[in-house]
Amino acid sequence: MADVAKTRAPGADALHERAHEDPMPLHGIHHVELWVGNAAQAAHFYTSALGFTEIAYAGLETGVRDRVSHVLAQGRIRLVLTGALGADSEIAEHHRRHGDGIRDIALSVPDVQHAWDYALAHGAEGVSAPHELRDPDGTVRLATIAAYGDTRHTFVEHADHTGPFLPGYAARDVGADAPEPLVLAIDHIVGNVELGRMNDWVGFYERVFGMTEMLHFSDEAISTEYSALMSKVVTDGRGRVKFPINEPAEGRRKSQIDEFLEFYDGPGAQHIALATRDIVGCVAELRGRGVEFLTIPPSYYDELPGRVGEIDESLEDLRAQGILVDRDDEGYMLQIFTKPVGDRPTMFFEIIERHGARSFGEGNFKALFEAIEREQDRRGNL
Ligand code: FE2
């Protein structure tokens, strides 16, 4: 080994160092853009029900002729709701096919040109080559690649831009007292892909983004007799971006992933998990604002203390709000899922609060279905 070190060329140590650096550094999720059928009304739901604040806008009034975009903020989360202004728009076509859905999971990167070069060199399909957008607030560099289905990843590099969002967006007057955020950051975004394609897309994120597989749950781990799925999670070097990828598995009935694929007409992003530090208060507030959540059978809570052990929250609060709990080797987590937020049974949100746990609530699949079966049993129907 010493000989190898001696024969290194000058500068080899630096090269060696770089080889261990993250090949595709990501600062995190910059924003998520949804293409929707009615951006004006969607923006009303996202602000009045989900607690977002509109911070920027682009449309006819700002010189954009083909689309309208509302930029919503809460904590570090940025969502863009975009609708079409004409029948020939690709947004209208996207909505015709998919309904409301996630078009772009944009990633903040230190160097757009590098991200683009690296992604294309590792097999990504380029959609929009690196280019600059400029306005009086400065410059932003962007490039876009294709992901599963019609989903895109835009790389965003804020060179020196100080505006409310991207160049071309007009600031909305937020007012002096912006409300306390209910949710603070995006924890993960789940993609649903076709049967047999999960490993391909895990490989895509490993090659193109230098991500690594974080956890692997077998078919058995999260299947029930009624709804089975397989899931793998990829994450970037710093653990800032987490993308679980699901594919359907054979069950007695159609799986929830099959239902998504049918109604979304192909692969797409299934849910965005939003992190909070007070899930009980957050969910109570969201319920009060009219957000609907999946109903949890009361019997789910019968087995909870035995399954997850000691937790800080009161069982009564969790039962009252329908919040789920799961535990892994590193701690526990609390989560709840909204009903789909659009017309189709496709995209929804998760609210999540982590207490050390790094998993995604897989233990809840089995616990939930067992709870449903216990209720069936009580009715003499099992
Ligand atoms: Fe999730």
Domains and CATH numbers, the chain: 12-17+182-379 (3.10.180.10), 22-171 (3.10.180.10)
Q: Rounded to whole angstroms, how far apart are CA atoms 363 and 10?
A: 53
Interval between CA 176 and ligand 1 midpoint (Å): 34
Q: How confident is the model at residue 13 (pLDDT cuts 50, 70, 90)?
A: very low
Give ∠ CA 246-103-25 in degrees, rounded to 5: 75
Q: What is the 3-state secondary structure (H, E, C) of the chain?
A: CHHHHHCCCCCHHHHHHHHCCCCCCCCEEEEEEEECCCHHHHHHHHHHCCCCEEEEEECHHHCCCCEEEEEEEECCEEEEEEEECCCCCHHHHHHHHHCCEEEEEEEECCCHHHHHHHHHHCCCCEEEEEEEEEECCEEEEEEEEECCCCCEEEEEEECCCCCCCCCCCEECCCCCCCCCCCCCEEEEEEEECCCCCHHHHHHHHHHHHCCEEEEEECCHHHCCCCCEEEEEEEECCCCCCEEEEEEEECCCCCCHHHHHHHHHCCCEEEEEEEECCCHHHHHHHHHHCCCCECCCCHHHHCCHHHHHCCCCCCHHHHHHHCCEEEEECCEEEEEEEECCCCCCCCCEEEEEEEEECCCCCHHHHHHHHHHHHHHHHHCCCC
Q: Rounded to whole angstroms, how far apart are CA atoms 115 and 197?
A: 24
- Mean of per-residue pLDDT scores for the chain: 89
What are the tokens at 183? Answer: 């949710």
Interval between CA 8 and ligand 1 midpoint (Å): 47
Q: How many residues does the chain have?
A: 382
Interval between CA 376 and ligand 1 midpoint (Å): 27
252: left (phi over 0), alpha (psi -120 to 50) or beta: alpha
Interval between CA 243 and ligand 1 midpoint (Å): 9
Going 283 to 288 to 293 to 298, the CA torsion angle's sign is positive
Residue with the bigger pLDDT between 216 and 205: it is 205
> Is the pLDDT score of 11 beyond 60?
no
Sheet holding 126-135, edge to edge: 126-135, 138-146, 152-158, 101-108, 28-35, 77-84, 67-74, 53-58, 170-171
pLDDT of 174: 77
Pick from 11-25, 68-82, 115-129, 193-207: least confident = 11-25
Interval between CA 140 and ligand 1 midpoint (Å): 31
Interval between CA 33 and ligand 1 midpoint (Å): 18
Interval between CA 230 and ligand 1 midpoint (Å): 13
Q: How confident is the model at residue 363 (pLDDT cuts 50, 70, 90)?
A: confident
pLDDT of 219: 45
Q: Rounded to whole angstroms, how far apart are CA atoms 53 and 171?
A: 12
What are the tokens at 279? Answer: 């899930």
Percent of the chain whose pLDDT exceeds 90: 71
pLDDT of 225: 55
Closest CA to 323 of 279, 277, 355: 279
Interval between CA 360 and ligand 1 midpoint (Å): 6
For residue 371, how many other CB atoms are within 10 A of its CB? 20
Q: How confident is the model at residue 6 (pLDDT cuts 50, 70, 90)?
A: very low
- Global pTM value: 0.91
Over range 136-151, report the average pLDDT: 97
Closest CA to 147 of 192, 210, 83: 192
> Is the pLDDT score of 351 beyond 60?
yes
Interval between CA 162 and ligand 1 midpoint (Å): 33
Contact indicator for 232, 244 with CB cutoff of 8 Å: yes
pLDDT of 159: 80
Residue with the bigger pLDDT between 128 and 257: it is 128
Interval between CA 350 and ligand 1 midpoint (Å): 6
156-200 pLDDT per residue, tens = 999 889 999 999 999 998 776 677 899 999 999 999 999 999 999
Q: How confident is the model at residue 284 (pLDDT cuts 50, 70, 90)?
A: very high
Interval between CA 189 and ligand 1 midpoint (Å): 7
What are the tokens at 286? Answer: 């969201």
HSE-CB at 26 with a 13 A cutoff on CA atoms is: 26
Interval between CA 364 and ligand 1 midpoint (Å): 11
Give, in order, the Cα–Cα distances in Å from 325 to each of 50, 114, 143, 336.
22, 41, 39, 9
Q: Rounded to whole angstroms, how far apart are CA atoms 160 and 141?
A: 10
Interval between CA 188 and ligand 1 midpoint (Å): 7
Contact indicator for 34, 100 with CB cutoff of 8 Å: yes
